[in-house]
Amino acid sequence: MKYKRILLKLSGESLQGEKSYGLDAKVLKQYAYEIKKVVEQGIQVAVVIGGGNIFRGAQTVGSSIDRVQGDYMGMLATVINAMALQSTLEKIGVFTRLMSGIKMEQVCEPFIKRRAVRHLEKGRVVIFGAGIGSPYFTTDSAASLRAIEIEADVVLKGTRVDGVYTADPEKFDDAEKFTNISFQEVYERGLNVMDMTAFTLCRENNLPIIVFDMNSEGNLLRVVAGEEVGTLVH
Ligand code: UDP
């Protein structure tokens, strides 16, 4: 296996599957099995989940809800998703711990770096909920930050698209996929890998990102094994 400790970022939207809102049990199960395959190879797995399937802070613009309040609502949404994934993983025999950027004693542990690393060393999947616990950030930023803190080898961004393209492949037929691209080139071409805060954190700390299709069976394991799946940003 190429990577020993990974941080997997899953968007909230991906968890809604074919639905227009909320959680799809089928997708949860599918992702849990993908994660299990990797854990069985002795890989240490941390997960950051988004909340876009339930609530995004940006939705509050022009509404009666204050933006900061909205961002906290978004963070709580990520905890709902994290709890759903935790249960699904446990149901198939994977040991997990849920850590949150916002204190919520009854459902999760607070995020403490040394503790997170200890869980990983014991083979538990550590799920990070509530982003970084501060408004005006995204869960992509949380993924980059937590990955750096726990010294992960790589951030794996599981999406619907199988990598980084010269243009949006869902809109442009002639869009070409990169198998490999530098941080500098992503920046110069203005490509959308992660938001700028998240991207810059990875770049400044030399943390590679792999964008790949999480919905293809076995893909996560292939990425971890070092196969050329998706796009490596380095
Ligand atoms: N959020 C936040 N700080 C964080 C992480 C998330 O304020 O550190 C809020 C923000 O409002 C965001 C929402 O939580 O819109 C859900 O996260 P995100 O949009 O990143 O989820 P995804 O797009 O991955 O589903």
pLDDT at 115: 98
Residues of the chain falling short of pLDDT 50: none
**Inter-residue contact 171 to 116 (CB < 8 Å):** no
Mutate to test the pocket of ligand 1, among 10, 15, 16, 78 (most ligand atoms within 8 A of CB): 78
pLDDT at 160: 86
**Inter-residue contact 37 to 94 (CB < 8 Å):** no
Full residue range of the structural domain in which residue 113 is found: 5-233
Q: How far away, in angstroms, is 10 Cα from ligand 1 center?
A: 12
Q: Which residues of 36-63 are buried (b: 16+ CB within 10 A; e: fewer)?
A: bebbeeebbbbbbbbbbbbbbbeebeee
Question: Is 129 near ligand 1, meaning CB less than 6 Å away?
Answer: no
Query: What sign has the CA pseudo-torsion 121, 218, 146, 29?
Result: negative
How many structural domains comprise the chain? 1
Closest by CA position to 181, among listed 173, 192, 169: 192
pLDDT at 196: 95
Ligand 1: residue whose CA is nearest its atom 22: 50
pLDDT at 170: 87
Question: Is 9 near ligand 1, meaning CB less than 6 Å away?
Answer: no
Q: How far away, in angstroms, is 166 Cα from ligand 1 center?
A: 26
**Inter-residue contact 47 to 195 (CB < 8 Å):** no
Q: How far away, in angstroms, is 227 Cα from ligand 1 center?
A: 30
Q: How far away, in angstroms, is 55 Cα from ligand 1 center?
A: 8
pLDDT at 149: 98
Ligand 1: residue whose CA is nearest its atom 21: 50
CB atoms inside a 10 Å sphere around CB 167 = 13
What residues pair up with 97 in beta bridges, in sequence order?
A: 126
Question: Is 71 near ligand 1, meaning CB less than 6 Å away?
Answer: yes
CB atoms inside a 10 Å sphere around CB 26 = 11
> At 165, which CATH number?
3.40.1160.10
Question: Is 78 near ligand 1, meaning CB less than 6 Å away?
Answer: yes
Closest by CA position to 97, among listed 72, 107, 37, 144: 107
Question: Is 146 near ligand 1, meaning CB less than 6 Å away?
Answer: no
